[in-house]
Amino acid sequence: MQSHIPNAFRAIVGAVTLALLTAANPVALESGSCPRATTVIATTTIAATASPTAASSLVTATPGTPVSPKILLIANEFELDYLEAYNFTTQYTGDLFEQVFACTADGTICKLACGQELVSASQITSLLLISGVDLTKTYVIISGTRGGDMFLGSDLPANFSGQYFSLYTQDAPYKYPSTVGTEAYWHGDVAGENVKYYANVITTGKARPCNTNQDDTGRLVALFLGAVHEKIDFGRVAIIKAFSNFDRPPPHLTAYQSRFSVGEGATEPGLRNSWKTIVAVVNDVLENWETIFEAGIKPNTYMGDLKERLGGSSDFGTTAGAAPGSVQGA
């Protein structure tokens, strides 16, 4: 069967998943020759399928029971409302692992309710060490919400005016933007501009940040180190997230007012749309496993960190001449 969305998945794998360049400073590269990037503040909605599977309703597998899923969905626990249709039946446990890692009866699709920042790093590391769990051919999809750069927004009516609502990114219609991760949440003009500057310096001008990304740092660090130790294929990791808000205020509000008074009006419709996309990707992987996805899809950009621990050659330039302790020399 012909794949309906392999090119989109190629773009996600080849660009968005490269959000890890260094263990301390994850930043993603732009991807070339990709379908048009569409950064969306969601407007359409879909219905959640049902409530999440309660841990008490799951059968616990005997320790060491083998499972090798084709898909692993990593999300905040409240997002798992959208996955009941998959009917997760069995949970797998291991030493120092307290999260719910549950799979369908045939072990094809699994889910992990994950925390944030360094907590998520320890949770995913523990998962990778569970006896019997084989994720070497698994496609990992990370969900969540983020603050979007208003100047990179798209999918807006043509009659919108002003810089606050920008039009389609026609200057680079076939390039996905980059993403920046941190252990601290940021919001506002000063922070947003500093992140852009930092990303430009650390990647020698290659990165183009488009959204805030606090929670993914720990998740990607753990997955990257898992790839270094051949526990997963980092080329099969994708981030598909919803824009919950802009990353800075409109002209008449302060950063504090826009963050704590206006809030995140796009969270709910954004998550509904992002999970609709995730389900489409899951279905495509399952339907075209033998013909496309089992062998893997080689990313069309550099994938890895500055030390090239996953192989390949970093195109970020060299930091050999950077001063010790500086941004580039850290």
pTM of structure: 0.67
Radius of gyration of the chain (CA): 20
- Residue burial 16-48, b: 16+ Cβ < 10 Å; e: rest: bbbbbbbbebbbbbbbeebeebebbbbeeeeeb
Rounded distance between C-alpha atoms, residue 212 and residue 26, angstroms: 12
Q: CA of 242: how far to CAs of 140, 259, 268, in Å?
A: 17, 17, 9
Do 274 and 143 meet the contact criterion of CB atoms below 8 Å apart?
Answer: yes
What pLDDT is stored for residue 292 in this prediction? 95
Please enumerate in sequence order all residues whose Cβ is within 8 A of that of 157, keeping only pairs 6 or more positions apart, or say none. Answer: none
What pLDDT is stored for residue 317 in this prediction? 60
- SS3 of residue 60 by DSSP: strand
- SS3 of residue 239 by DSSP: strand
What pLDDT is stored for residue 60 in this prediction? 92
Tokens of 14: 């080849």
**What are the pLDDT digits (tens) for 92-114?**
998 878 888 999 999 999 999 88
Q: CA of 233: how far to CAs of 17, 35, 207, 230, 260, in Å?
A: 11, 23, 23, 7, 39
For residue 168, count other CB atoms closer than 10 A to its CB: 15
Do 12 and 45 meet the contact criterion of CB atoms below 8 Å apart?
Answer: no
What pLDDT is stored for residue 141 in this prediction? 93
Quick one: which H or E segment has residue 142? strand 139-142
**What are the pLDDT digits (tens) for 233-284?**
999 999 887 777 777 777 787 776 776 676 666 777 778 888 888 999 999 9
Do 1 and 291 meet the contact criterion of CB atoms below 8 Å apart?
Answer: yes
Which residues of the chain are under the pLDDT cut of 50? 1-53, 154-157, 161-173, 182
CATH 3.40.50 fits 6-293, yes or no: yes
Of 162, 155, 145, 160, nearest to 252 (Cα)? 162
Please enumerate in sequence order all residues whose Cβ is within 8 A of that of 67, keeping only pairs 6 or more positions apart, or say none. Answer: 61, 90, 92, 103, 107, 110, 132, 133, 134
